[in-house]
Structure 1
Amino acid sequence: MNRTAVVTGLGFITSIGNDRAAVVDSLRRLRPGLAAIEFLGNPAISVKVAGTIKEFVTESPVWRDWRFPARYDLSRETLRSLSPHGLYALCATEQALADAGLANEALTDGGTGLYCASAGSAFLLHHHLAHMHAVRGERGNPMGVVASIAGTLNFNLAAHYGIRGAVGGFAAACASSSHALGCAVDDIRLGRQTRMLVVGAEEVNAETILPFAAMRALSTNPDPLTASRPFDRARDGFVGAGGAVCLILEEAEAARRRGATIYCEVAGWGQAADGYNVAVSHPEGAGLAAAMRRALADAGVSAGDIGYVNAHATSTPAGDRSEALALRAVFTTDGHHPRVSSTKGLTGHPLSLAGVMEAAFCALAFAEGFVPGNVNLVEPDEACAGLDLPRASLAEAPDLMLNNSSGFGGSNVCHVLRRLSG
């Protein structure tokens, strides 16, 4: 495999900003995107903070009631089969195509594919099934299935853009979009595709986020400025979030021939499962450590070459500890001390969107020459001993970065990203 995959376009609808400039500013300044929220109009619910999406109003199950920035000119026919997170995904993809300098016509030759990640829209699924039961199955929305089930992103985006290459969706909980990105890299390296759109998206509503409260996985801290605190001793759970990110990959020579601006190369990736528990990470981080080592081997680099790690750390007590121990096993025990931070202190945890969003953050860090810091890190957990956890964002430009993701069932995926000179 002598072909390489490079990042040429990025698009963002996130809690910390809805375009590249806003996201960069939030990452540099450590400006969180979390806000107070009252789920289901019930003040007794203990979860009171979420990573919300500004400029978009999508609380209604009826698309005609939605409000979004006027710069996105979307037709009735496009909107009627979308979920709220499908709307986010389409807007993020429009940004990424503009960022990459690609016209829609470039996507239809079979050389471009699309991989997506989301859990579907539990919100719309609940709405449509409730209606079905109310009318005893005699009527239903003809777009209800394609707007709500787990493949809704790939259904809608592939049809909207006329994509004729590889199209698929990934479901591996919070590692989903990292799987999508890894498989997209392989399709380019193997010569199966010239270009891949990788899209992750999730919603910010009770149906998507609140079920995690029953698992005691969500923070009950009511302060939006401090509720998400990865690696901190006082963390008490993750803060749910949503949004969408589109990352465009291209074969490097094809990108250069058309004069594309290249953010970085995705130099390698690896995955490994814990084989331990349906919901809890391996207590020693065994699977994540194996995934990191496999990613490094695939990229042909050593642990000492990595300058920055964007950690998966979601602010849960068990998960952050597991990742800290995995990082120590791969790096610290051999005397390596890359900078490590979790940007979820800013964004909250957007579930299956997390992997591609944070890979895109790494691409921005290459382009802008900085490393994001750890917001809300006051007293690191003792499991973090020896890790370099900068509190503030740093004006540094490492040549190699590692991006970690973990999901239910012990699914761990890691990517190595490389700065390209010239």
Structure 2
Amino acid sequence: MRRRVVVTGMGMITPVGGDVESSWTALCEGKGGVGPITLFDAGTFATRIAAEVPRFDLGAYRTDADRWRDHSRTSQFALAAATQAVAHAGLETSEVDPSRFGVYLGSGEGQQDFGRFVELVHGSSKSGKVDTAAFTRMGRHSLHPVREADQEPGNAAGHLASVFGARGANMTCQTACAASAQAIGEASEFIRRGVLDVVLAGGAHSMIHPLGVTGFILLTAMSTRNDDPARASRPFDRDRDGFVLGEGGGVLVLEELEHARARGAVIYGEVAGHGSTADAFRLTDSHDEGRGAVAAMRIALDDAGLDPSDIDYINAHGTSTPSNDSIETLAIKKVFGDRAYAMPISSTKSMTGHLVSAGGAVEAVACLLALRDGVLPPTINLETPDPACDLDYIPHQARERRIDAVLSNSFGFGGQNTALILRRFAG
């Protein structure tokens, strides 16, 4: 029998709350976190709204915050979420063999100092050509070495390893919007196979910087509902016009069942199954028949040993783009058949925006809390049903219902797909 993987701790930082419980309360109450961008001057951008983490201060979570003050928001979100998760798990490093303690994150680049880069290019240019020697000389004096080093997406996982003494496998997943869900799924395999006993798994990311926003604008993927930010993220609605960029982090403490029992840990759920696939279709679009999403969900069900009838709730990828929402709906119908119409589904991105590499982890935490409390968070801003999106998306208000198994979908740019199945722990 394969080793079982349970969740013993959770932490998250989101645009609607600074920790697990405040975020969960906001999600259940249908409170959104979208507003004007304040992290840089977006006045000339086509999209000027985002879901920022307001007034974030690492000092609220860690006594060594000064050590990290020059590091990226991505790294700081990871540290804050992991610190919460380890405390929530009641985990002492002395209880874990450090060689069997790992980290697996989905994460991305640090903040890009685009303005400084432009200044360097202009300052080192003559007659339309860049003097590379002058560019290098100026850069050495004006760019911050810590901030530049933290552009490396794998640094966040390394930071967690150093802080918590995790000397086992240290991994970073970069499958875009599927990254942190895939990290959780693959981390569970390290435990199942007996390689590790405990893993900090999840993700952190902030792309709310000029280069990140510019890239998505060029793809025409983001909402331009700048005058009405609270209603901009509207998954499955007929009038949706793109996603809203968010930021934050979510980390789970994954633990082998007997290891958790031996230290008397509280168990919040079990990672029952996961599936990851690629559309192998097109960089910017999902396959129009949802073939990768369908395959990921079916692999996850098979991995969990469950039938479609065993799933009680789906936390949808639900980005609020015209293409994603209709294709995900189609994929759910293909996997669940007629049951799809009776299945409660919601998109918490309607409130948090799209946290990119951190999205799957935050949504996994929401699923575990739904299992714990018997409350299904709503999809807000679903005002005008889209005929192509005709399932039960829990519009406007949370719904009370006991559930035992949930499916969380995360589909990434480039055709990456991950499906996680989390279930109520039954000894």
TM-score by length of structure 2 reads: 0.90
Q: Verify: 1:196 aligned to 2:186, yes or no.
A: no
Q: Is the 8 A contact 1:117 1:153 kept in 2?
A: no
Shift of 1:48: 2.3
2:170 aligns with 167
- Deviations 1:48-101 (CA, angstroms, capped at 9, x unpaired): 221111222xxxxxxxxxx54445212544444x21221111111111111000
Q: Which runs of 5+ in 2 are unaligned?
A: 121-133
Deviates further, 202-211 or 367-376: 202-211
Q: Residue 217 of structure 1 aligns to which amino acid in structure 2?
A: A
> Distance between the aligned counterparts of 1:224 and 1:394, measured in 2?
25
Task: Verify: 1:338 aligned to 2:347, yes or no.
Answer: no
Q: Where do residues 308-323 of structure 1 align in structure 2 (5 Å cutoff)?
A: 308-323=313-328
Of 219, 240, 259, the match for 2:245: 240
State the match for 1:133 in structure 2: 135
Deviation at 1:180?
0.7
Q: State the alpha-carbon separation in 1 of the partners of residues 221 and 39 from structure 2.
A: 16
Pair 228,364 (structure 1): closer, same or farther in 2 beyond 3 Å: same
Taking the aligned partners of 1:158 and 1:145, their CA distance within structure 2 comes to 20
Cα distance, 1:304 vs. partner?
1.0
Structure 1 partner of 2:105: 116
Contact residue 146 and residue 155 of structure 1 kept, 8 A: no
- Does 264-273 or 115-124 show the bigger shift? 115-124
The whole-number CA distance in structure 2 between the counterparts of 1:55 and 1:104 is 30
Task: State the distance in 2 between where 1:198 and 1:304 align.
Answer: 28
CA distance in 1, matches of 2:222, 2:156: 26
Equivalent residue, structure 2, for 1:61:
none
The match for 1:48 is 48
Change (3 A) 1:241 1:263: same
Q: Shift of the alpha carbon at 1:150? A: 1.4
Q: 2:114–2:210: 8 Å Cα contact kept in structure 1?
A: no
Structure 1 residues 93 and 379 mapped into 2: Cα distance closer, same or farther (>3 Å)? Answer: same
Question: In the aligned structure 2, how far is the partner of 1:297 from the partner of 1:188?
Answer: 19
Which whole-Å deviations, capped at 9, do the CAs of 1:284-321 have from their partners, x for residues lacking one? Answer: 21110111011001100111111100000100001111
Q: Is 1:227 aligned with 2:226?
A: no
Structure 1: how far apart are the matches of 2:150 and 2:140? 19
Paired amino acid for 1:135: R
Whole-angstrom distance in 2 between the partners of 1:143 and 1:45: 28
Asked if the contact 1:55/1:68 (under 8 Å) is kept, the reply is no
* Aligned-pair Cα RMSD in Å: 2.2
Residue number among 62, 71, 91 corresponding to 1:72 in the alignment: 62
Call closer, same or farther: CA 1:148–1:104 in 2, change over 3 Å.
farther
Matched, 1:398 2:398: no
Query: What is the alpha-carbon distance in structure 2 between the residues aligned to residue 11 and residue 183 of structure 1?
Result: 19
* Structure 1 counterpart of 2:21: 21
Instruction: Using the TM superposition, give the Cα deviation of residue 205 of structure 1 relative to its aligned residue in structure 2, in angstroms.
Output: 2.8
Deviation at 1:157, TM superposition (A): 1.5
Matches within 5 A, 1:333-412: 333=338, 337-385=342-390, 387-391=391-395, 392-412=397-417
Partner of 1:60: none
- CA gap of 1:138–1:87, structure 2 versus 1, over 3 A, is closer
The equivalent of 2:126 in structure 1 is: none
Is the contact between residue 39 and residue 45 of structure 1 (CA under 8 Å) also seen in structure 2? no
For the residue of structure 1 that corresponds to 2:201, the secondary structure is strand
Deviation at 1:39, TM superposition (A): 7.0
Change (3 A) 1:97 1:245: same
Question: d(CA) in 1 for partners of 2:393 and 2:61?
Answer: 39
Match of 2:290 in 1: 285
Matched-pair identity in %: 38
Please name the residue that 1:185 is paired with: 188
1:33–1:51: 8 Å Cα contact kept in structure 2? Answer: yes
Q: TM-score, normalised by structure 1?
A: 0.91
CA distance in 1, matches of 2:324, 2:217: 16
Gapped runs of 5+ residues in structure 1? 57-66
Q: Is the 8 A contact 2:333 2:340 kept in 1?
A: no
CA distance in 1, matches of 2:115, 2:259: 44
Distance in 1 between residues matched to 2:368 and 2:424, nearest whole Å? 9
Match of 1:251 among 248, 256, 276: 256
- Confirm or deny: 8 A CA contact 1:199 1:245 kept in the other structure: yes
Q: State how far apart, in whole Å, the 2-side matches of 1:34 and 1:229 are.
A: 12
Pairwise CA distance, 1:199:
3.1
Determine the structure 1 residue equivalent to 2:84. 95
Tell me which residue corresponds to 1:209.
213
Deviation of 1:129 (Å): 9.7
Query: In structure 1, what is the Cα distance between the partners aligned to 2:32 and 2:245?
Result: 13
* Deviation string, structure 1 residues 110-129 (Cα, Å, up to 9, x no partner): 12100111121142588589
Kindly state the Cα deviation for residue 336 of structure 1 after the two structures are TM-superposed: 6.1
CA distance in 2 between counterparts of 1:76 and 1:411 reads 37
Q: In structure 2, what residue type is equivalent to 1:364?
A: L
